[in-house]
Structure 1
Amino acid sequence: MEAVRVDEKFDAHRRWLASQNAPPVDHLSEEQLATIKQAYLHHLLDEDEETRLDGFKEPEAISVREEPQEDAFLPSFEEYEELIEEMDAVTRTHLARGKRDVFFLSEAEEVLAWEGIETRLAATSPDWKKVIRALQEASVEAHEAKRRRNRGDVVPTPPAPLEQPVSSAAGTSAPKVSEAFERWAEQKALGNRWTAKAKNDYRNWLTLFIEVCGDRPIKDYRKADGREFKDVLTKLPSNWRKMPETRNGDLRSAVERGQKSGLPTISIATINKGLGRLNAFWEWASSEYDDAPLNVVAGLKLDDTTSARHKRQPFSTEQLQALFDSPIYSGCYSEKRRSVPGDTDMRRSHWHWLPLLGLFTGARLNELCQLYVGDIRKAGGIAFLRLTNEGEGQRIKGKGDDIRSRDVPLHRELIRLGFWEFAEDQRQDGHTRLFGQLKADASGYFSGKTSEAFSTYLKQIGVKTAKTSFHSFRHTFKDACRACGVEPHLSNALLGHAELGTGSVYGTGGYGLPLLRDAVDKVDYQSLSLEYVKPYSG
């Protein structure tokens, strides 16, 4: 036992030396301040117990001590009562007025050096005020407990905080969550693993988390914070930033107003997307920082019974017919007023070609918007699109080794409608990009404004639904591949989907152009008429 006590003393001394050599911190967390207050309250009431065990100066006639003791330096009970009242009055006055005196400053310096706290607070830190206030609050609570003891009430001394340092290194090893995110973002940016759009999306979700749970040192978060954030998300109205009832205010007020107005809430898919973003961050943080908690959002995703297919729907034949009979193809008033009938020919515009390319390739909108003229190629007499991330500003969706270029042969209808000739004219005119009028947005994507504008156009011609957008062309193409007998591994290769098992190689890495061309040309939209889609004529 003696050896154990010696070891404990050496451990405590080593911690004290470490705290003195550690760099001073500028801020203390709420948890640290609570530990300091608890330690000081324990000290004051433990000291009071010692005083009462020593006894007070008593008249000799009523002394109950078995053996006479020197009590010349002991206070009388009445003097002790008076001292408590005097100190309490002064402390309450200072606490009420936010005053900090020399006594509590010296107490703060001493408490910060106690075993189990061992924290160096920078001399210029604004948190000295918080430490002194915590000690004043503990003193007021201790004085009240002493009064009860003076009346003969049984008032236990609260336990001391666990003897574990509150971490002098909190300023470096446990930054605020917002600071930790920036460090994570810097690491993700290495090797271009993150696009600006992805970074902003992750930051937006973390900003919402901070709005709910606060921007605290990362070590202070607990699972309860993750549950609280999830609870708020489940009540958050859809499009709350745009709705008149909810756009002016913070997240919690949006929830409150949304509930009062009976607004529909965001989907389970959106909630799970946000929790997934946070999950990635907290997984990194728990590995990066020694004193970070385990992932506070792990396992919180909601069960989603909605299949991926039903989150976005393919276009119906009626929707497609309305689109390809609409003014973009039959003639519109102008490019700006493209939903109004007129005499403007749009065959040299991206508005003409993007829906056709989506229908016959199933490519993602940004993959098409970012095309260079040189990405429309021929090999062995087969014309094809090279969908790639090799050019400046180009990107392909995927993770790690799944991010690969792929070649998609041009469907016979695209050849008939003159897409190759359109690309050749762009090349001959000296254009670098196929659709030069499209510019990258702040996130580096060429499709942002086009996606919104296409959805607006669908509304204007009366075919928009909640589950249709340009992305619906991918579902439409996939369904057409299935209906026309295209083998799943070939349709996956054309769409850029990774295959299950060992069949994960696609495009030129796995299938030749002749095989892919035969697969593409099987696709036939038999009930769809393209009579208003005039072939390109230069």
Structure 2
Amino acid sequence: MSETISPTFTFVKDGVYYFSRRIPKELLRHYSSPRIAYSLRTRSAKIADARARKAADQLDDYWFHLRSRDAELPGKHMLRMGTATVAGSPASPDAIMSSFVLLSEAVEIYLGQKGKGRPATFHRAAERARGYVIEACGDKQLDVYTKADANAFRDALIARGLAGSSLTRVFGTVRAVTNFAASEQGLTLNNPFAGVYYDRTAGVSDRNAVPSETLRVVQSKCREIDDDLRWLVSLVSDTGLRLAEAAGLTKDDIVRHDDGSLTVRVREHPWRRLKTKGSEREVPLEGEARWAAERIVGQQGPSHFAFPRYNKTANTNANAASAALNKWMKEYVPRGCTMHGFRHSMRDRLRAVECPADVVDQIGGWQTEGVGHGYGSGYPLSVLRKWMKEAT
């Protein structure tokens, strides 16, 4: 094949071949985009042709399945109600077909029931996991997948470069989908995706706490530069807020109380969801976090956001904030320290002043183990403020 002519279903960008195929109009409801496009990771037309043809064949098979799902079962009118099953008990046509649950159908069952009211990330995780499994093992009935399929799936994820922590998340999603769908369909399933071995630490980098001496240097630089980016750093550094939580705040989330103290209310917003239900909390502002909060509420402008630059679209752009701030901090912090390290260091600082563990969890929005901790409304702000003052 000539290197100057792109194979079918491909295009070239910067010398690299990409697969590209438009979704058939009648199947668009199953997809979040009208076109499938991804890198084939090769500069060779011959290799690209082989990979593209394989991908196209897989799509043709899958699309045939999607088209046939809503079609009338051939000969269904000839089925006798009460036809005996293998075990000898009567079953309806629907019951006869109930064991034929494909993974693609299982995901729709799962999202249809458990996806209600859940964030888009929940849906994307299930859909992404489905794509990974189908690409590695095909779209099969749940009771047809084998341990060999699960191991092949693991190897495919590793070949993609996923870290051990990412593998854990993907496998967890696949197990949840298959177990839930099997339960909904009344199937007994020995889940082959359970108990698959892989190195959970592979490719996982340590998230180091920011050392106390480094913390003071960074906070001093924030005061010196005194702009919205440094206010965000200071706010996170003395509260332990997740960066996304802080970046998505409004000015109204910073509350001044009658005694002159300040707190920040971490709550869910349409533009920024919270990681867990326990993440919703109120945190006293002490030290540099209080300084940053005063600067935020005192800024002029029409925006009600605390950090307008990261809230220009429908969703808070926490990734942009992370990239910009980590790049700036690199000059002042040890290797391996990032913005997330402030969250680790806050927990260490609270431990150092012998703060009770459940108070630490309430301040940081961490899950506290034990049934009893689910009762009551938590510690009052005065108790939280006492420990925050000691830690800062």
Same structural fold, with TM-score higher than 0.5 when normalized by the shorter chain:
yes
Q: Which residue of 1 aligns with 2:192?
A: 296
CA offsets 1:210-236 (integer angstroms, 9 cap, x no match) = 211112233432333222212443x43
Distance in 1 (alpha carbons) for counterparts of 2:308 and 2:156: 43
SS in 1 for 2:305: coil
For residues 286 and 163 of structure 1, do their structure 2 counterparts lie closer, same or farther at Cα, with a shift above 3 Å needed?
closer
Q: Which has the higher strand share?
A: 2
In structure 2, C-alpha distance between the alignment counterparts of 1:164 and 1:215, rounded to whole Å: 27
Q: Please give the secondary structure, in 2, of the residue aligned with 1:280.
A: helix
The DSSP-based 3-state class of the residue aligned with 1:377 is strand
Summarize the alignment of residues 3-18 of structure 1 with structure 2, pairs less than 5 Å apart: none
Match of residue 82 from structure 2: none
Q: Aligned pair 1:180/2:180, yes or no?
A: no
User: Cα 1:201–1:322, aligned 2, differ >3 Å: closer, same or farther?
Assistant: farther
Aligned match of 2:296 in 422, 430, 438? 422
Q: Which amino acid aligns with 2:74?
A: A
> Equivalents in 2 of 1:224, 1:267: separation in Å?
21
Partners of 1:163 and 1:430 in 2: CA distance: 71
Residue 407, structure 1, aligned to residue 282, structure 2? yes
Query: Alpha carbons of 1:386 and 1:471: their partners in 2 closer, same or farther (altered >3 Å)?
Result: same
The reply to whether residue 204 of structure 1 matches residue 128 of structure 2 is yes
Q: How far, CA to CA, are the matches of 1:280 and 1:207 in structure 2?
A: 15
Q: Give the counterpart of 1:377 among 241, 255, 278.
A: 255
SS of 2:193's equivalent in the other structure is coil
Q: Is the alpha carbon distance of 1:393 and 1:175 closer, same or farther for their aligned partners in structure 2, counting shifts above 3 Å?
A: same
- Shift in Å, 1:380: 4.1
Secondary structure, in 3 states, of the residue corresponding to 2:115? helix
Residue 421 of structure 1: CA displacement? 4.8
Provide the identity percentage.
25
2-side partners of 1:404 and 1:316: how far apart? 25
Say yes or no: does 1:490 pair with 2:359: yes
Corresponding residue to 1:517 among 369, 376, 385: 385
Whether the aligned pair in 1 keeps the contact of 2:274 and 2:280 (CA below 8 Å) is: yes
* Aligned position for 1:106: none
Output the amino acid matched with 1:122.
P
Q: Which amino acid aligns with 2:110?
A: W
Partner of 2:266: 387
- Give, in whole Å, the separation in 2 of the partners of 1:425 and 1:377: 15
Supply the RMSD in Å over aligned alpha carbons: 3.6
Cα deviation digits, residues 435-487 of structure 1 (max 9, x gap): 22223778x4541322233333344x37474x433221110111111123322
Counterpart for residue 16 of structure 1:
none
SS in 2 for 1:296: coil
The reply to whether residue 236 of structure 1 matches residue 143 of structure 2 is: no
8 A Cα contact 1:275 1:297, kept in partner: yes
Unmatched runs of 5 consecutive residues or more in structure 1: 1-119, 124-161, 239-265, 332-345, 525-538
DSSP-derived class of the 1:311 partner: coil
8 Å contact 2:250–2:306 — kept in the other structure? yes
| Counterpart-to-counterpart distance in 2, 1:388 and 1:314 | 25
The number of aligned residues is 308
Alpha-carbon distance in structure 1 between the residues aligned to 2:305 and 2:99: 47
Checking the alignment, whether the CA contact within 8 Å between 2:210 and 2:333 is kept in structure 1 is no
Q: Spell out, residue by residue over 1:150-177, the C-alpha distance to the aligned partner (whole angstroms, 9 max, x if none).
A: xxxxxxxxxxxx9689x97587763432
AA matched with 2:274: I
Closer/same/farther in 2, CA of residues 489 and 504 from structure 1, 3 Å limit: same
Matches of 2:187 and 2:365 in 1, distance apart?
Answer: 41
* Aligned 1:92-107 pairs, distance under 5 A: none
Q: 1:354 aligns with which of 191, 210, 232?
A: 232
1:307-343 superposed Cα distances (whole Å, 9 cap, x missing partner):
x9x83211234654564465x6544xxxxxxxxxxxx
Contact 2:264–2:282 at 8 Å: present in 1 too?
A: yes
SS in 2 for 1:374: helix
Aligned to 1:273: 169
Letter in 2 for 1:517: R
Q: Say if 1:366 and 1:445, in contact at 8 Å, map to a contact too.
A: yes
Instruction: Give the match's secondary structure for 1:407.
Output: strand
- Using a 3 Å threshold, how does the CA distance of structure 1 residues 418 and 360 change in structure 2: closer, same or farther? closer
The answer on whether the counterparts of 2:254 and 2:265 sit within 8 Å (CA) in structure 1 is: yes
2:248, 2:325 → 1: CA distance?
16
Once residues 210 and 279 of structure 2 are traced to their aligned partners in structure 1, the CA distance between those partners, rounded to angstroms, is: 28
Q: Give the unaligned 5+ runs of structure 2.
A: 1-71, 76-84
Q: 1:178 to 1:360 in 2, by over 3 A?
A: same
Q: How far did 1:385 drift? A: 0.5
Query: Within 1, Cα distance between the matches of 2:124 and 2:217?
Result: 36
Aligned-partner residue type, residue 435 of structure 1: F
Which has more radius of gyration? 1
Distance 1:403 1:484, change over 3 A: closer
| CA distance in 2: counterparts of 1:222 and 1:474, whole angstroms | 42
Given the alignment, which residue of 344, 347, 366 partners 1:478?
347
SS of 1:509's equivalent in the other structure is coil
Paired residue secondary structure (2:264):
strand
